[in-house]
Amino acid sequence: MHRSAGATMAWNVFRFCTALRGLGSIMILLVLSIVGVTYYAVVLCNYGPALLAGGASSLAALAVLILFHFLLVMLLWSYFSVVFTDPGSVPPNWNLDFDEERGETVPLSSSDFNTQMNSQQSMANNDTGHPRARYCRKCNQLKPPRCHHCSVCGRCVLKMDHHCVWVVNCVGALNYKYFLLFLFYTFLETTLVTLSLLPHFIAFFSDIDIPGSPAALATTFLTFVLNLAFSLSVLGFMIMHAYEKKTTPRWMYDLGRKRNFIQVFGNDKRYWFIPAYSEEDLRRMPVLQGLDYPMYSV
C-alpha cells in the first residue's frame, strides 16, 4: 500500500516539528556557550587586562566593560523572559464576549458554548461570517483574533508570530515585547563587541606582535566573527521586517506607528526597555492579554 502525497507531506512535517521540540535545551546551551565565549574574549582576554594595566587606555576599557555588562544583563533578562513566558493560550470556554473593563472573558454556559462552537465551525468551513470568529479543527476550539495553531507546540497560541528555535518557544501575545527587546539588546551587544574587538581583529592580520596566548587570540578572532555575523543578521531582519510592513496593504489591526508601539510595549514609559509591564498597563490594557484587539477604521 502506497501513502498519498498529502499523507507523506503531513508525516514529514510532523517529524520536522518533533525535531524542533527536541532541540530545546541544546539551543539554550548554544546561546549560553556563545555568551560565554564572548565574555571570555572581551573581559578576560582583552579589556580586563587593559583595565588592570592602568594608564590612559584603562578609562576606555572601563567604559567598554560597564556598557558590555549592562547590555549583557538586559540581553539575558530579555532572553530568559521569552524562553520561560508562556506566549498565551486560549482560555477554556473562551467566547467573543470580551469584558474590556476587567480584561477577562465572560464564560459561556455549556449549551451556549456548544452552540457557538458549531456555529463557528460552520463559518470556518464556509469562509463566511464575522472576520474575527474562527475555529481550530486541530484543537477543536474557537480561536480569538490573531490566534494561530503552532504545529511545534501542538496548540493554539494567542497573537502567534512564529516559533523561534533560538528561544525554544513560540513568540506570541504575552512574550512578543520580550522577544523584540531580546533582538534589540542582541544587536546593541554584538555591535559593541564587534567595534571593541575590531582593532584586535585588524592587528591579527598585521605584522604587529600581539600579546596573549594562541588560545586567547583564536578566541578573540572567533568572537569577532560570530558577533559581526549576529549583528548583521539582526540588522538585516529588522530592515526586512520594516520594508515588508511598508510595502504591504494596511492591515485591519494596523493603528499607526505610535499606537502599534503602545499595543506591544504599554503606556508606561518606565517599562518600555525592560521585559516587564506595569500593573496599571496590565489592568487597563486588555490587548496585553492577547484576546481582543482594536481595529483600524477608515
pLDDT digit string, tens, across residues 70-93: 999 999 999 999 999 999 988 887
Kindly state whether residues 69 and 27 are assigned to the same domain: yes
- Specify whether 156 is catalytic: no
Residues 39 and 168 both lie in one domain: no
Q: Tell me if 75 is assigned to some domain.
A: yes
Residue 110 lies in a domain: no
My answer on whether 166 and 20 are in the same domain is no
Domains in the chain, number: 2
40 and 19 inside one domain: yes
Q: Output the pLDDT for position 298.
A: 53
The answer to the question of residue 214 being in a domain is yes
User: What is the structure's pLDDT at 126?
Assistant: 39
Which range marks the domain in which residue 185 is found? 15-85+178-244
- Does 31 lie in the same domain as 78? yes
Query: What is the per-residue pLDDT for 294?
Result: 77
- The residues, ordered by sequence, that sit 6+ positions from 65 with a Cβ below 8 Å of its Cβ are 42, 43, 47, 48, 51
CA-to-CA distance for 21 and 168, rounded, in angstroms? 8
CA 89/CA 277 separation, integer angstroms = 19
Share the mean pLDDT of the chain.
80
Residue 117 lies inside a defined structural domain of this protein: no
Taking a C-beta distance cutoff of 8 angstroms, is the pair 105, 97 a contact? yes
Please check whether residue 113 lies inside any domain of the structure.
Answer: no
pLDDT digits (tens, 9 = 90+) for 152-163: 888 899 999 888
Question: Do 65 and 213 share a domain, yes or no?
Answer: yes
Does residue 34 sit in the same domain as residue 146?
no
- The reply to whether 103 falls in a domain is no
10-residue mean pLDDT series, the chain (298 residues):
40 51 79 96 94 86 97 97 92 64 41 48 42 76 88 89 90 94 96 95 80 86 96 90 69 81 92 95 85 72
Give the pairing type, strands 134-136 and 104-105: unpaired
- Tell me which residue has cell 543578521: 233
Examine residue 33 and state whether it is found in any structural domain, yes or no.
yes
Helix (H/G/I), strand (E/B), else coil: 221: helix
Residue whose C-alpha is closest to residue 191's, from 231, 245, 246, 242: 231
CB atoms within 10 A of CB 298: 3
Q: For residue 148, list its beta bridge partners.
A: 157
Single out the residue in 144, 173, 202 at which a domain terminates: 173
- Domain final residue, candidates 123, 141, 173: 173
Q: What is the CA radius of gyration of the chain?
A: 24
39 shares its domain with 158: no
pTM of this structure? 0.80
Q: Return the ∠ at Cα 63 (arms to 57 and 69), rounded to 5°.
A: 130
Single out the catalytic residue among 136, 150, 156, 164: 164
C-alpha to C-alpha distance for 258 and 178, rounded to whole angstroms: 18
Last residue of a domain, one of 196, 221, 244: 244
163: β partners: 170
Domain-located, residue 217: yes
Q: Note the Cα 265 to chain centre separation in Å.
A: 13
Return the SS3 of 164.
Answer: strand
